[in-house]
């Protein structure tokens, strides 16, 4: 099997244990957090929390959602549970549509190479669930259709919830958090790459200059990072922590994670001196360290000063520059 798939996404090594977590939280702490989340996820309590206690919800997401309640919490944070309840029977109807060429020639092939070492997807039931979720989305949003980057995201959702719930959660990701990310032209990805470069210039100008010297544009590496929500980039425990925050705070966290990763890789003169060619920089970006202090990494991400206003300001700047260049 090739190391990279047809979109240039790096495949996980066979020996990678995506369930391993070297920063396990003590059981007593987990139980306390579970109780708090169970109480908060009660319908009336959840409505109150989202309206009046958003800071508390954010704090609990940043600490890490207990694994036993992660799938349910993601559905509530995204609002997919509401969408599913409002769309009773639609998922089953979508599955009854005739298979298109995309389903037969693309999705069916991708299903077998999405987390091929994970027990859930070595079994026919898990593979069928993944196929169903991806097929249903390609029919539900026919204008966008299917994009290969959806596979790892859908698979991650299926590890935490049943297929129908995973489908509606995927819908919310594509429409609420990452609108226009998966279309044929990847318009939103290209714009966010420019925004990422702008933020990098402001926060880590020496890194930006170093990458620019060797013609390394952020689109080269952040396409995989963002489109797969780091599912195929970070160690598995960190993937889950990033998703916990993503579902609560939105796409901002994807920028924060990417900026921290670049600072880890090229943040000092000594580090930058090791990578002085396009190839060496590219290799470094594909081989980011998997042995991380998970909690330390999350704290670095959260400590990075980046708020909604920063993103909006950079977004407007990039739109203005694009409009000027097109004249």
Measured CA to CA, the distance from residue 140 to residue 120 in angstroms comes to: 25
Q: Let me know whether 264 and 288 are in one domain.
A: yes
Question: Could you tell me where the DSSP H helices lie in 96-146?
Answer: 101-102, 108-111, 119-122, 124-140
Measured CA to CA, the distance from residue 132 to residue 167 in angstroms comes to: 9
Cα–Cα distances in angstroms (integers) from residue 183 to residues 197, 207, 215, 278, 292, in the given order: 22, 30, 26, 29, 33
Q: Let me know whether 322 and 197 are in one domain.
A: yes
> Is residue 141 situated within a structural domain?
yes
Q: Let me know whether 206 and 118 are in one domain.
A: no
In the block, which residue shows the tokens 């169903």? 132
Tell me the pLDDT tens digit for each residue of 92-148: 999 999 999 999 999 999 999 899 889 899 889 999 999 999 999 999 999 999 999
> Is residue 229 situated within a structural domain?
yes
- Tell the burial category of 326 from Cβ atoms under 10 Å away from its Cβ (0-12, 13-18, 19+): exposed
pTM (whole model) above 0.75: yes
> Is residue 234 situated within a structural domain?
yes
The separation between CA 301 and the C-alpha centre of its own chain, rounded to angstroms, equals: 15
Q: Residues in the chain with pLDDT < 70? A: 1-24, 289-291, 322-327
| Assigned token pair, 37 | 């989340």
Q: Let me know whether 198 and 287 are in one domain.
A: yes
> Is residue 158 situated within a structural domain?
yes
**CATH number of the domain where residue 139 is located:** 1.10.8.270
Give the mean pLDDT of the chain.
87
- Tell the burial category of 177 from Cβ atoms under 10 Å away from its Cβ (0-12, 13-18, 19+): middle
Q: Let me know whether 237 and 280 are in one domain.
A: yes
4: β partners = 10
> Is residue 280 situated within a structural domain?
yes
Q: Let me know whether 210 and 305 are in one domain.
A: yes
In the block, which residue shows the tokens 């925050």? 245
Q: Let me know whether 249 and 280 are in one domain.
A: yes
> Is residue 69 situated within a structural domain?
no
Contact 262, 207 (CB under 8 A): yes
Last residue in a domain, options 133, 152, 177: 177
Query: How open is the CA angle 86-87-89, to the nearest 5 degrees?
Result: 135
> Is residue 193 situated within a structural domain?
yes
**Through-space distance between the first and last CA atoms of the chain, rounded to whole angstroms:** 46
**CATH number of the domain where residue 210 is located:** 1.10.472.80
Q: Let me know whether 143 and 252 are in one domain.
A: no
Q: Let me know whether 148 and 263 are in one domain.
A: no
The separation between CA 101 and the C-alpha centre of its own chain, rounded to angstroms, equals: 27
So what's the pLDDT on residue 139?
Answer: 96
Measured CA to CA, the distance from residue 281 to residue 285 in angstroms comes to: 6
Q: Report the candidate in 100, 197, 182 with the shortest Cα–Cα distance to residue 146.
A: 182
Last residue in a domain, options 129, 158, 177: 177
So what's the pLDDT on residue 326?
Answer: 61
Q: Let me know whether 146 and 244 are in one domain.
A: no
| Assigned token pair, 236 | 């598995």
| Assigned token pair, 190 | 């290209």
Q: Let me know whether 160 and 242 are in one domain.
A: no
Residue-range definition of the domain harbouring residue 211: 187-326
So what's the pLDDT on residue 148?
Answer: 92
Residue 29 has φ and ψ, to the nearest 5°, of: -70, -40
Last residue in a domain, options 177, 209, 237: 177
Q: Report the candidate in 69, 22, 19, 14 with the shortest Cα–Cα distance to residue 46.
A: 69
So what's the pLDDT on residue 14?
Answer: 35
Residue 4 has φ and ψ, to the nearest 5°, of: -120, 145
Domains: count for the chain: 2
So what's the pLDDT on residue 325?
Answer: 65
Q: Let me know whether 200 and 272 are in one domain.
A: yes
> Is residue 54 situated within a structural domain?
no
| Assigned token pair, 20 | 């391993």
Q: At what angle do helices 70-78 and 163-172 cross, to 10 degrees?
A: 40
């Amino acid at each position: 099997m090739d190391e990279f798939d047809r979109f240039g996404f790096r495949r996980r090594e066979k020996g990678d244990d995506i369930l391993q977590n070297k920063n396990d939280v003590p059981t007593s702490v987990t139980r306390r957090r579970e109780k708090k989340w169970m109480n908060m996820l009660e319908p009336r309590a959840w409505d109150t929390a989202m309206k009046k206690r958003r800071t508390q919800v954010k704090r609990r997401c940043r600490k890490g959602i207990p694994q036993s309640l992660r799938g349910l919490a993601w559905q509530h944070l995204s609002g997919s549970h509401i969408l599913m309840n409002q769309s009773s029977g639609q998922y089953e109807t979508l599955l009854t549509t005739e298979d298109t060429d995309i389903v037969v020639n693309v999705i069916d092939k991708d299903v077998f190479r999405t987390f091929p070492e994970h027990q859930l997807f070595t079994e026919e039931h898990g593979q069928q669930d993944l196929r169903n979720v991806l097929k249903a989305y390609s029919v539900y949003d026919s204008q966008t259709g299917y994009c290969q980057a959806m596979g790892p995201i859908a698979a991650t959702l299926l590890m935490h919830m049943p297929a129908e719930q995973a489908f509606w959660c995927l819908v919310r990701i594509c429409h609420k958090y990452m609108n226009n990310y998966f279309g044929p032209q990847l318009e939103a990805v290209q714009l966010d790459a420019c925004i990422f470069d702008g933020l990098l210039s402001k926060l880590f100008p020496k890194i930006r200059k170093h990458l620019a010297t060797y013609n390394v544009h952020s689109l080269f590496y952040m396409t995989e990072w963002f489109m797969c929500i780091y599912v195929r980039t970070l160690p598995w425990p960190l993937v889950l922590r990033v998703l916990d925050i993503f579902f609560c705070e939105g796409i901002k966290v994807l920028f924060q994670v990417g900026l921290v990763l670049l600072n880890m890789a090229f943040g000092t003169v000594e580090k930058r001196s090791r990578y002085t060619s396009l190839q060496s920089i590219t290799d470094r970006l594909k081989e980011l360290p998997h042995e991380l202090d998970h909690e330390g990494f999350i704290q670095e991400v959260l400590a990075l000063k980046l708020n909604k206003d920063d993103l909006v300001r950079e977004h407007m700047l990039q739109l203005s520059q694009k409009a000027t260049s097109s004249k």
